């Protein structure tokens, strides 16, 4: 099957459906959280945060249970691999990877970490008036809640910076390395002509297995439990 | 001769300098105290608001805790209206998030303060009765008057 694909030039699936859905839902919810926060629309801001929380739980699970390009083990690499990869960027034509490259992998982990801290801080945050608060804020003092809110502001700015670097990197690949990263993240597929000859063997499935169902159920359950502050 | 003259001038120079420094660095003690007192009052109200919202998150909210918190909010609300005399804004040299609009639009500011007093008085009444749904609704109404005033008259807190 893989050998047959290798001989046929054409598109190869490099991202499964859950990875792509996660990515674009996070894009939308990140923007919506920003907008609702700026407009003091805190009911919507909380709902958006719970959705981000569920997505993060799913993605962390999918990093162990997903298809090969979704797994942390496949793309979290050491500094040596990142350095070797950085040197390979000078070669022309640039040959794309199936999955995250060793530097992109770190960028993914950095964005995930920023979002995890951001959501965690929001859960405990209290506004200066004591009116609006996260669902776990009653487990902490007013002062701790204020500290969480300040962290929530700080990490948002860090997250914005990381997103800016992410978008800048996509532009560099697009215009300098002539590699389109956006289309594969939408369709899941990349033309095998722009990939190494043995890429077809690394192609991934759609990812819609029972494992995905388990992940969705677990993510929904965890997000629900936290959103009600573990009061059932 | 020259040396003697400078000695006679020196005390006056020092006095003038000291006066100028004092005027620059420290607002009159009453201004500092007023700003500190109103900030402390607001903080008490914020903590009391959190007690109310914490209790409402619980499946068995404590009526005495909510009643006590509502009384803190209402009594401080009645005090706060008098805590913004002219000269206690950002121009006083004391750090404050109070915006100049408080004094340029005083009638509206005072009206908003009266709304806070009204809503927080109702909050005391509903917490005395103890119906959680009614308390939640009145907490929202009270918080609404806080927010309406803060958006217009307080510097954005980051």
Tell me the average pLDDT of chain A: 93
Residue B75 has pLDDT above 90, yes or no: yes
Instruction: Give the pLDDT mean for A111-129.
Output: 96
The owner of tokens 């999918």 is A62
CA-CA distance, A176 to B12, in Å (whole number)?
Answer: 72
Contact B101, B110 (CB under 8 A): no
Residue A66 has pLDDT above 80, yes or no: yes
Instruction: Give the pLDDT mean for B111-122.
Output: 96
Interface of B with A in 115-154 (CB under 8 A): 143, 146-147, 150-151
Q: Is residue B77 part of a domain?
A: yes
- Read off the tokens for B150: 């803060």
Structurally, how many domains does chain B consist of? 1
Chain A residues whose beta carbon lies within 8 Å of the beta carbon of residue B47: 130, 142
Q: What is the pLDDT of residues A152-169, one digit of tens each?
A: 999 999 999 999 999 999
The owner of tokens 């009614």 is B134
Using pLDDT thresholds of 50, 70 and 90, give the confidence band for residue B13: low
* Nearest chain A Cα distance for residue B58, angstroms: 7
Chain A residues whose beta carbon lies within 8 Å of the beta carbon of residue B49: 129-131
Q: Is residue B127 part of a domain?
A: yes
The owner of tokens 């192609």 is A203
Using pLDDT thresholds of 50, 70 and 90, give the confidence band for residue B70: very high
Between these two residues, A44 and B151, which has the higher pLDDT value? Answer: A44
CATH number at residue B144: 1.20.120.10
Predicted pLDDT of residue B11:
52
Residue A5 has pLDDT above 80, yes or no: no
Q: Provide the domain limits for residue B95.
A: 2-153
A229 touches chain B (CB under 8 A): yes
- Read off the tokens for A33: 């959280």
CA-CA distance, B122 to B145, in Å (whole number)?
Answer: 13
Chain B residues whose beta carbon lies within 8 Å of the beta carbon of residue A129: 45-46, 49, 143, 146-147, 150
Predicted pLDDT of residue B157:
62
Residue B18 has pLDDT above 60, yes or no: no
Instruction: Give the pLDDT mean for A130-142.
Output: 94
Q: Which residue of B has its CA nearest to A40?
A: B147
Q: Is residue B158 part of a domain?
A: no
Q: Which of B2-6, B38-42, B154-158 has the highest mean pLDDT?
A: B38-42
Which range, of A119-123, A202-206, A209-213, averages the lowest pLDDT?
A: A202-206
Instruction: Give the pLDDT mean for B133-137.
Output: 95
Contact A114, A155 (CB under 8 A): yes
Instruction: Give the pLDDT mean for A117-127.
Output: 97
Interface of B with A in 56-75 (CB under 8 A): 57-59
Chain B residues whose beta carbon lies within 8 Å of the beta carbon of residue A133: 50, 53
B45 touches chain A (CB under 8 A): yes
Pick the CATH number of A13-227 from 2.30.42.10, 3.30.1650.10, 3.90.1310.10, 1.20.950.20: 1.20.950.20
Out of A129, A135, A229, the one facing B143 most closely (by C-beta) is: A129
A31 touches chain B (CB under 8 A): no
Residue from B82, B67, B65 nearest B117 by CA:
B82
Q: How many CB atoms lie within 10 A of CB A110?
A: 15
Instruction: Report the largest interatomic distance among the alpha carbons of chain A, rounded to a whole angstrom.
Output: 65
**Pick among A128, A131, A150 to test the B interface (most B CBs inside 10 A):** A131
């Amino acid at each position: 099957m893989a050998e047959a694909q290798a001989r046929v030039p054409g598109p190869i699936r490099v991202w499964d459906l859950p990875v792509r859905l996660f990515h674009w839902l996070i894009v939308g919810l990140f923007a919506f959280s920003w907008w609702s926060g700026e407009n003091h629309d805190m009911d919507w801001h909380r709902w958006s945060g719970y959705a981000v929380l569920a997505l993060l739980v799913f993605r962390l699970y999918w990093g162990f249970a997903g298809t090969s390009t979704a797994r942390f083990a496949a793309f979290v690499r050491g500094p040596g691999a990142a350095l070797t990869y950085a040197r390979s960027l000078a070669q022309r034509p640039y040959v794309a990877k199936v999955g995250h490259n060793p530097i992109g992998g770190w960028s993914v982990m950095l964005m995930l970490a920023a979002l995890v801290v951001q959501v965690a801080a929001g859960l405990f945050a209290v506004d200066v008036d004591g009116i609006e608060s996260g669902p776990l804020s009653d487990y902490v003092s007013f002062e701790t809640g204020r500290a969480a809110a300040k962290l929530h502001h700080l990490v948002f700015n860090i997250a914005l910076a990381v997103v800016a670097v992410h978008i800048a990197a996509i532009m560099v690949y697009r215009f300098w390395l002539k590699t389109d990263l956006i289309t594969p993240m939408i369709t899941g597929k990349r033309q095998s002509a722009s990939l190494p000859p043995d890429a077809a063997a690394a192609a991934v499935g759609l990812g819609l297995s029972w494992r995905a169902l388990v992940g969705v159920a677990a993510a929904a359950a965890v997000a629900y439990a936290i959103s009600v502050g573990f009061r059932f | 001769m020259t040396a003697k003259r400078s000695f006679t001038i020196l005390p006056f120079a020092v006095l003038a300098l000291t006066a100028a420094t004092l005027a620059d660095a420290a607002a009159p003690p009453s201004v500092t105290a007023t700003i500190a007192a109103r900030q402390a009052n607001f903080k008490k109200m914020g903590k009391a608001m959190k007690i109310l919202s914490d209790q409402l998150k619980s499946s068995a909210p404590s009526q005495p805790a909510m009643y006590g918190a509502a009384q803190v909010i209402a009594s401080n609300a009645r005090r706060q209206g008098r805590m913004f005399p002219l000269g206690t804004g950002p121009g006083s040299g004391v750090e404050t998030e109070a915006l100049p609009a408080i004094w340029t639009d005083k009638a509206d500011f005072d009206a908003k303060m009266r709304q806070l007093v009204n809503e927080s008085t109702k909050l005391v009444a509903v917490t005395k009765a103890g119906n959680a749904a009614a308390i939640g609704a009145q907490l929202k109404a009270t918080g609404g008057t806080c927010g309406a005033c803060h958006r217009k008259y307080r510097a954005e807190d980051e």
